[in-house]
Every structure is written in structure tokens, then in C-alpha cells.
């Protein structure tokens, strides 16, 4: 019975600490990573670590510096991971001599090839792909415009991307389709 009471007290104390410091920690993480969703994830990870190490934390000292340190370390780990991902993607593209995008004419030619392939998809799939990746519309907007469900939009996107991946490296498609400045 005493253990249950201790657990209830820990939960109550944890909830109080969370409510008191969550926003401050999110602002701190945001100042480091400049991404709101990533900041929230980082803070949740910091609180998870606090909970997992609850019995070893010295609560006689202020908890905020400890939480700020956890958040900072997780934010720095996140930034390092992002840097590694970016380097890996650049290296992957550099290692593939058939798909260099160093000059504008090569980029334009590749975009034309991708657009040509999108135009040869089944009609509805082609429409959805163009609305999503060329006109940058959201799934819900596409569904309303074409009078289809959002799940149908997702299915068409999935099928269209699967077809494109068969002909073009996925990393290259990601680079082209996610960069609105690269579209004609």
C-alpha cells in the first residue's frame, strides 16, 4: 500500500513539474533547433528521461537547471542527427553520377522526365500527383476539388510515388518534389 501511495505522489509531483516547466523548455529547445514539432519531441524526451530516472534525481536542488540541461543535450543530439542525415543525402546524390543536378539544364531535364512520367500515370493518379506536388495543395483540398476521399488521395499519392521510385532514385525524387523552387 505504501508503494502505491509513493507512486501516486511521484505522479502528482511529475505532473506539477511538467505543467510548470513544459513551455519554458519548449522555448529553450526552439531557440536551439528552430523547429516547433522537434522542440516538443525533445522536451517530451527530456521529461521521459526524468521519469525513467526519477529515483536517482536529487529533488533537494532546483529541478529546472536539470531539465534545461536534459533539453539542451537532446536538442544538440537532434541537430547532430540532422547534420548527419543531410550529409548522407548529399553524399548519396554525389555518389550517383547519372543524377547530378549541378547545372540548371540537368535539373530542368530531370524535372521534365519526372513530369512526363507523372503525365503517363492513370488519369486520376496523375491529377492527384500534380495537385499535390506541382500546385502544393493539401490532401483535404485535393479531395474536395476532385470529390474523392482523403484516403483515396493518399492511395493515389502512394501509387504514383511507387511508380516514380521504379524509374528515379527515391532520394532524388525527394529532393526535386520537396523543393518548390526546383519546379517549373
CATH number of the domain within which 21 lies: 1.10.1740.10
Cα 173 from Cα 171, distance rounded (Å): 5
104 with 79, same domain: the answer is no
pTM tops 0.75, yes or no: no
Cα 139 from Cα 16, distance rounded (Å): 39
104 with 68, same domain: the answer is no
Residue-range definition of the domain harbouring residue 167: 100-182
pLDDT band at 162 (very low <50, low <70, confident <90, very high): confident
Which residues, other chains included, contact 94 with Cβ-Cβ below 8 Å and sequence gap of 6+? Answer: 100
The pLDDT of residue 26 is above 80: yes
The pLDDT of residue 155 is above 70: yes
**% of the chain surpassing 90 pLDDT:** 43
89 with 127, same domain: the answer is no
29 with 60, same domain: the answer is yes
Q: Are 172 and 165 in contact (CB under 8 A)?
A: no
Q: Are 68 and 26 in contact (CB under 8 A)?
A: no
Amino acid at each position: 500500500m505504501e508503494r502505491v501511495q509513493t507512486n501516486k505522489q511521484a505522479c502528482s509531483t511529475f505532473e506539477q513539474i511538467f505543467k510548470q516547466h513544459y513551455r519554458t523548455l519548449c522555448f529553450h529547445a526552439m531557440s536551439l533547433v528552430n523547429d516547433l514539432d522537434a522542440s516538443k519531441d525533445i522536451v517530451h524526451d527530456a521529461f521521459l528521461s526524468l521519469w525513467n530516472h526519477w529515483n536517482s534525481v536529487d529533488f533537494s536542488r532546483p529541478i529546472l537547471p536539470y531539465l534545461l540541461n536534459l533539453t539542451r543535450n537532446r536538442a544538440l543530439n537532434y541537430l547532430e542527427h540532422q547534420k548527419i542525415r543531410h550529409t548522407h543525402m548529399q553524399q548519396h546524390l554525389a555518389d550517383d553520377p547519372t543524377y547530378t543536378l549541378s547545372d540548371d539544364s540537368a535539373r530542368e531535364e530531370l524535372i521534365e522526365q519526372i513530369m512526363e512520367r507523372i503525365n503517363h500515370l492513370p488519369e486520376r493518379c496523375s491529377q492527384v500527383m500534380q495537385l499535390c506536388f506541382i500546385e502544393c495543395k493539401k490532401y483535404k483540398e485535393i479531395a474536395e476539388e476532385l470529390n474523392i476521399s482523403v484516403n483515396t488521395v493518399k492511395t493515389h499519392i502512394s501509387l504514383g510515388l511507387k511508380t516514380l521510385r521504379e524509374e528515379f532514385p527515391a532520394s532524388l525524387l525527394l529532393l526535386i518534389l520537396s523543393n518548390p523552387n526546383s519546379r517549373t
